[in-house]
Chains A and B, each alone.
Chain A
Amino acid sequence: MLRKEFVTMCSTFQEKLSNIITEAEGLLKTASNLKEIDEVRIKTIGRKGAITEISKELGRLPSNEKPAAGKALNMAKKKMTELLSNFTELLESSDHTNSKDVLDISLPGRKWSVGKKHPITQTIDDCIDIFRRIGFIVASGPDIETVYHCFDALNAPVDHPSRSESDTFYFSDGRLLRTQTSTVQIRVMENQEPPIRIIAPGPCFRPDNPDASHSANFHQLEGLYINKNVSLAELKSTLLYFAKELLGDDVKIRFRPHYFPFTEPSLEYDFSCTSCAGKGCRLCKNSGWLEISGAGMVDPSVLEAVGYDPKIWSGFAWGMGIERIAMIRHGINDIRYFYDNDLRFLKQF
């Protein structure tokens, strides 16, 4: 009796497996998509599928039959996996041979609106990236400044024309709008002991009537490096590194002596013309060079003004006009485009 029962159970176990597989195969043959095939998977070898459920019966079989039943179970699982994979493959290949529905792939895609960085910001960001790689960090200062930070501490003579109302915006309390980012040099040095290695991008203001090359609002990037035994050779090398990173390896740099109250020696630096590679063209007014901005070794009186001992510390500083660089990079011939914010302009960058 017991024995018969065992036989029945045993035969039932293997029969059950084969029934499940037969039934599953029938379902797979009629399946018309991958979802239906997956449903068969769930019903058979899924976590609550028939084969998974039946495998729980294995434990109750007499031990001498367990090996055969176990083997049958494994065979069934393997068979089922094979069937699923075969029918999946079949269905997928029939996609290529039988499909009658076609898309008009020439219709435009549903575009996602892409935001754009303003070209001034792009240029500032690119400059920052280049200088950050050699350890400069970004510092900042206020736009509404004191005469001290904009002129006095920067060694500008008391009667220097740049201080006049035709060159600087003033407020009734005697303060002003900074005309240069050099103010940040003083702000940083007042609050920090050397060494200093900063750049300071930001807006500047001068009472210029707007035309193709002037704007009362414009942006500068200031750089300052103070340490022991800093040399002009390092300044030249740093600016050349910047020029090459920004404009390409072929760019050359030229220094010309100049005068600024807050640097000594002072110089202006030019990059070789990006448009004609120095041969001479309209962009560089046939000189082969593009004037960029001013630089120099920090004047000892500036160091003294912030309480640094010029016998111990020295350094270099430079400025650059962001609009100027953006105009060179993109071939823009009128500074006013930057502030018009015409989307037809902004979307180009």
Chain B
Amino acid sequence: MNISYNWLSQYVDIPFSPEDLVEKLTMAGIEVESISKTNIIPDLVIVAEILERNPHPDADKLSVCKVWTGKEELQIVCGAPNCNKGLKTALAQIGTEFIDSKTDKKLKIKKSKLRGTESYGMLCSSVELGIDGGDHSGIMELPDNSPVGRSLNEIYKSDTVYELEITSNRPDWLSFIGIAREIKALSSHPIKFPQINLPYIQSDKDYTDLIEILDYDLCPRYSGRIIRDVTVKDSPSWLKERLLSIGLRPINNIVDITNFVLFELGQPLHVFDLDELSENRVIVRRAKDKEKIIVLDGKEYILSKDQLVIADALKPVALAGVMGGEQSGVTEKTVNILIESAYFNPANIRNTSRDLNLSSDSSHRFERGIDAEMIKVASDRTASLILELAGGRLCSELIDIKDGSLIPKPKIVECYFDNIRSILGINISNQEIITIFNSLDLKVSDISLNKCFVAATSFRLDVEREADLAEEVLRIYGLSRIPLVEVKALPGGSIKKDAYVQIAKGRDDLISLGLTECINYSMADKKVILKDDNFKESDLHEVINPISVESSVMRPSLFFGILKVISRNISHNNQDLKIFEIGKVYSANPELQEERYSCCIAMTGRKHAERFSAEKNEVYDFYDLKGLIESWIGMRKLAPVKFIKSDNSLFKPGFVADIIIRGKKVGTFGEICSQFTKGIRIKNPLYVAVIEFEQIIKMKTGQVKYQPISLFPATTRDVSVVADESMENSVIINCIEKAKCKLLEKVEILDIYRDDSLGHGKKSIAYTLTFRNKFKTLTDKEVNSAHEMIRNKLAKELPIELR
């Protein structure tokens, strides 16, 4: 909502400058979104009268005018089409300084020559002077009675306009009087309520049947009054200026008055052309199913049975609380009017407005709840202004139909002074608290030593509980005065319950292994995900209102997000990537946990792109990723880990393995199948691990038990075998371990070697065996015999050749 400083001053003396008001409103809870200054007219701009208009000798579009300033006659060249003789207009005299609002540069009016003719000043348009609602089509046309020679800024006072954001709990602030009440509370300056003078009613007939309410639940109160013989015309300039100052377009005096009163008092009003109402009466009822109405925005709406309309005897004439009907609205031909002032059910107005995607200043207020006590006052104010500005006869009392039980009532709240002090942590006396309540028109009664009762008002239905009163005290007392206290550490519980520790550890371990963390959207493209055979449509959680098809389902895997990251980086010429994400994945499959932490690791391209020589061109392979996983799991101390062949279709067959920890499958990794990298200009194979991180963090690591370090030396022997290519390393290692040699401490692969001399399809693998006796130094003889035993075991059990 926009408010103008000048307009606001009409209701309360503001003891703050326009700049300070921003701070005061902000600290009272009224957020000022923006602030703008209008009508900043320089002093040297005055009212002047054009005495003569002559054509310019050398320019068709220019005129040479004789202009009277009240002191002297000046020759001024003007390009406006309306610089006619007798016009009173704005003259910027020589020496006037304008500030260009766009560039902030100063422009000074000087004596000048225009096409050879001297000009002693400039006649101005309202736009040039920054006057609200100004038009650029010509110079200003001031009223005939404007005093020549006067400074224009005495007539067009400068103003400041604030764009306010009003929170939904304070509909009372959606009016000038509401904001004025706040300033009253802050300054103790009294409210200057507008004078309302209603004349004697010249009742011409009985209007008791004017209004009929059929649906009290949606409209518990509806009032109307009749004025006859009004003259619809332009509003006077003061009213236009008021509306223009807050960004409203003046239409005609009747419509402008309803808008004016809406912003002044917060009560939305509507005026019907009485003669357009069939049988000259209104019925407040639910719309019939598929009933149609064309409203003031010119559009037709098809209504449903839960929407409320104001109808005449035949048809809907207004969408209750939202917008009036086109046909029954006020036009230049209107003579007799019905002024509506009512209370509508807030939830119903909100639903109607939302369902029809139609909102207005009226619906905005009704859906938040209006002040029921203002219904009559606003109607009186409107009638009084109409009689003043549009003439006519007031022909009826206020016809006020209501079921008061359906309108919410203000509450009386018990307030313990100690509770207020304790919630806020401030030292404030009982009397100060009471003074604050009084300043806010909250009526205090039954004051005792420790408590009082506080009655809310009809415009403060939000005040219902002691906590609400605490907020009121806080706002007026001032939030900046809340004292600081010592911040103490208080244990919030065991760190074992801290949900973040395990996740952070897993992530930090991966970072320490040189991977960079990514964070992707939790929502993904269903089409893309279903390319992965691991997921069926029924596994996916789909939102019913996605912002795009690319983010319609909750990701069941982190892989496609990571793939997007790879694609994006490769498109920026970065082929060398080592990244991961740890985040939640989601499943609608009842057999799976609905939300669980997952981890996806990806590596592709060069290992050491920033190094030189041969190392520079080394690229990641399967064993880099496997080693990384082994190191990561090793850091968590989660032995034993096994890797078994997998047929997961995300990966290239034969280049993929499942990760088994303590007998449980926790993930899969390998080289991604090329069908998934189509369209990405990836130069090297992409290695990815998809890991059920949630399972890993649930595995207990237990307390580490120290192993004594042997004081006796180890001895090594190598063993080298020639085997078929198909012979796996693990088979040979298993065989060596099966020899159950007590002295064997560890087996490490030393080398794999292929050569024509070995024969086609053969490989030579060498292992280093480490022997140690923890309790004595081994002799050569002992070592040799152990070595021999292992060699024999291999030769006997496996189809290999010892070398």
**Could you list which residues of chain A lie within 8 angstroms of chain B, going by C-beta atoms?**
107-108, 110-118, 120-121, 125, 128, 132-140, 142-144, 158-161, 164-166, 169-172, 177, 195-198, 201, 203, 205, 207-209, 216-217, 227, 229, 231-234, 236-238, 240-241, 254-259, 264-267, 297, 299-300, 314, 338-344, 346-347
Chain A proximity mask over B276-307: 1 for CB below 8 Å, otherwise 0: 00000000000000000000000000000000
A160-B168, A233-B485 are known contacts. Are A197 and B490 too (CB-CB below 8 A)? yes
Contact, CB under 8 Å: B547 / A240: no
B515 within 8 A of A: yes
Contact, CB under 8 Å: A237 / B489: no
Q: How far is the CB of A254 from chain B (nearest CB, A)?
A: 7
Contact, CB under 8 Å: B471 / A342: no
A143-B584, A144-B595 are known contacts. Are A203 and B545 too (CB-CB below 8 A)? no
Contact, CB under 8 Å: A121 / B519: yes
Contact, CB under 8 Å: A207 / B490: no
Residue of B483, B586, B610 touching A144 (CB-CB under 8 A): B586
Question: In whole angstroms, what is the CA distance A133 to B615 when docked?
Answer: 45
B84 within 8 A of A: no
Residues of A contacting B484 with CB < 8 Å? 233, 236-237, 240
Contact, CB under 8 Å: B565 / A265: no
Question: In whole angstroms, what is the CA distance A152 to B482 when docked?
Answer: 31
Chain B residue with Cβ nearest A300: B467
Contact, CB under 8 Å: A137 / B493: yes
Chain B residue with Cβ nearest A125: B504
**Could you list which residues of chain B lie within 8 angstroms of chain A, going by C-beta atoms?**
26-29, 31, 167-170, 346-347, 350-351, 354, 422-426, 465-468, 470-471, 474-475, 479-480, 482-495, 497-501, 504, 507-508, 510-523, 541-547, 551, 554, 565, 568-569, 572, 574, 577-579, 583-584, 586, 594-595, 607-608, 610-612, 615
Q: How far is the CB of A321 from chain B (nearest CB, A)?
A: 15
Chain B residue with Cβ nearest A233: B425
Q: Which 10 A-B pairs have the closest CB atoms?
A: A233-B425, A231-B425, A197-B492, A257-B29, A265-B471, A259-B167, A115-B511, A138-B500, A255-B479, A113-B514
Residues of A contacting B523 with CB < 8 Å? 205, 216-217
Residue of A198, A217, A258 touching B167 (CB-CB under 8 A): A258
Contact, CB under 8 Å: B520 / A196: no
Contact, CB under 8 Å: A232 / B423: yes
Contact, CB under 8 Å: B29 / A117: no
Contact, CB under 8 Å: A108 / B610: yes
Question: In whole angstroms, what is the CA distance A169 to B608 when docked?
Answer: 44
A232-B474, A343-B577 are known contacts. Are A254 and B170 too (CB-CB below 8 A)? no
Question: In whole angstroms, what is the CA distance A158 to B348 when docked?
Answer: 12
Contact, CB under 8 Å: A137 / B347: no
Residue of B494, B501, B514, B522 touching A203 (CB-CB under 8 A): B522
Residue of A134, A139, A231, A340 touching B490 (CB-CB under 8 A): A134
Contact, CB under 8 Å: B522 / A115: no
Q: How far is the CB of B524 from chain A (nearest CB, A)?
A: 11
A112-B514, A114-B514, A265-B470 are known contacts. Are A171 and B543 too (CB-CB below 8 A)? yes
A137-B497, A237-B485 are known contacts. Are A229 and B586 too (CB-CB below 8 A)? no
Contact, CB under 8 Å: A170 / B543: yes
Chain A residue with Cβ nearest B594: A144
Question: In whole angstroms, what is the CA distance A173 to B237 when docked?
Answer: 58
Contact, CB under 8 Å: A346 / B595: no
Contact, CB under 8 Å: B425 / A257: no
A143-B586, A159-B351 are known contacts. Are A118 and B517 too (CB-CB below 8 A)? yes
Chain A residue with Cβ nearest B29: A257
Contact, CB under 8 Å: A142 / B594: yes
A170-B543, A232-B423 are known contacts. Are A346 and B516 too (CB-CB below 8 A)? yes
Chain A residue with Cβ nearest B26: A256
Q: How far is the CB of B454 from chain A (nearest CB, A)?
A: 15
Question: In whole angstroms, what is the CA distance A186 to B319 when docked?
Answer: 40
Residues of A contacting B542 with CB < 8 Å? 171-172
Residues of B contacting A142 with CB < 8 Å? 594-595
A232-B425, A258-B167 are known contacts. Are A128 and B518 too (CB-CB below 8 A)? no
Chain A residue with Cβ nearest B564: A341
Chain A residue with Cβ nearest B609: A113
Contact, CB under 8 Å: B424 / A232: yes
A143-B584, A259-B169 are known contacts. Are A135 and B425 too (CB-CB below 8 A)? no
Residue of B27, B354, B423, B516 touching A314 (CB-CB under 8 A): B423
Question: In whole angstroms, what is the CA distance A314 to B495 when docked?
Answer: 24
19 new A-B contacts, CB < 8 A, other than A111-B608, A177-B543, are A107-B612, A110-B608, A112-B514, A118-B517, A135-B492, A137-B493, A138-B498, A171-B541, A197-B492, A198-B493, A203-B583, A203-B584, A217-B521, A231-B423, A233-B482, A297-B423, A300-B465, A314-B423, A344-B574
Question: In whole angstroms, what is the CA distance A205 to B553 when docked?
Answer: 13
Residue of B483, B517, B541 with most partner-chain A CB within 10 A: B517
Contact, CB under 8 Å: A140 / B499: yes
Contact, CB under 8 Å: B568 / A341: yes
Question: In whole angstroms, what is the CA distance A236 to B484 when docked?
Answer: 7
Contact, CB under 8 Å: B482 / A118: no
Contact, CB under 8 Å: A113 / B518: no
Residues of A contacting B518 with CB < 8 Å? 118, 341, 346
Contact, CB under 8 Å: B500 / A344: no
Residue of A128, A133, A159, A203 touching B347 (CB-CB under 8 A): A159
Contact, CB under 8 Å: B516 / A159: no
Question: In whole angstroms, what is the CA distance A144 to B554 when docked?
Answer: 9
Residues of A contacting B354 with CB < 8 Å? 164
Residue of B29, B347, B354 with most partner-chain A CB within 10 A: B29
Residue of B471, B487, B545 touching A169 (CB-CB under 8 A): B545
Q: How far is the CB of A332 from chain B (nearest CB, A)?
A: 14
Question: In whole angstroms, what is the CA distance A93 to B514 when docked?
Answer: 40
Chain A residue with Cβ nearest B167: A259
Residue of A136, A299, A339 touching B467 (CB-CB under 8 A): A299
Contact, CB under 8 Å: B467 / A255: no
A143-B522, A197-B493, A233-B483 are known contacts. Are A128 and B169 too (CB-CB below 8 A)? no
Question: In whole angstroms, what is the CA distance A314 to B611 when docked?
Answer: 60
Contact, CB under 8 Å: A344 / B512: no
Chain A residue with Cβ nearest B467: A264
Chain B residue with Cβ nearest A109: B611
Residues of B contacting A144 with CB < 8 Å? 541, 554, 586, 594-595
Question: In whole angstroms, what is the CA distance A143 to B541 when docked?
Answer: 12
Contact, CB under 8 Å: B485 / A115: no
Residues of A contacting B504 with CB < 8 Å? 125
Residue of A115, A234, A344 touching B572 (CB-CB under 8 A): A344
Q: How far is the CB of A284 from chain B (nearest CB, A)?
A: 14
Question: In whole angstroms, what is the CA distance A209 to B548 when docked?
Answer: 9
Residue of A133, A170, A227, A234 touching B544 (CB-CB under 8 A): A170
Residues of B contacting A205 with CB < 8 Å? 522-523
Chain A residue with Cβ nearest B573: A344
Residues of B contacting A177 with CB < 8 Å? 543
Question: In whole angstroms, what is the CA distance A197 to B498 when docked?
Answer: 11
Question: In whole angstroms, what is the CA distance A341 to B169 when docked?
Answer: 40
Residue of B346, B426, B468, B497 touching A264 (CB-CB under 8 A): B468
Chain A residue with Cβ nearest B571: A342
Contact, CB under 8 Å: B572 / A231: no
Q: How far is the CB of B6 from chain A (nearest CB, A)?
A: 24
Residues of B contacting A137 with CB < 8 Å? 492-495, 497-498
A116-B517, A232-B474 are known contacts. Are A257 and B479 too (CB-CB below 8 A)? yes
Contact, CB under 8 Å: B168 / A264: no
Residues of A contacting B510 with CB < 8 Å? 115
Q: How far is the CB of A18 from chain B (nearest CB, A)?
A: 31
Contact, CB under 8 Å: B516 / A241: no
20 contacts between A and B (CB under 8 A): A115-B511, A115-B517, A117-B508, A137-B493, A138-B499, A138-B500, A140-B499, A160-B168, A169-B543, A172-B542, A196-B492, A197-B491, A203-B522, A203-B584, A259-B170, A264-B465, A265-B471, A297-B470, A344-B572, A344-B574
Contact, CB under 8 Å: A115 / B513: yes
Residue of B168, B425, B480 with most partner-chain A CB within 10 A: B425
Question: In whole angstroms, what is the CA distance A74 to B519 when docked?
Answer: 70
Q: How far is the CB of B239 from chain A (nearest CB, A)?
A: 33
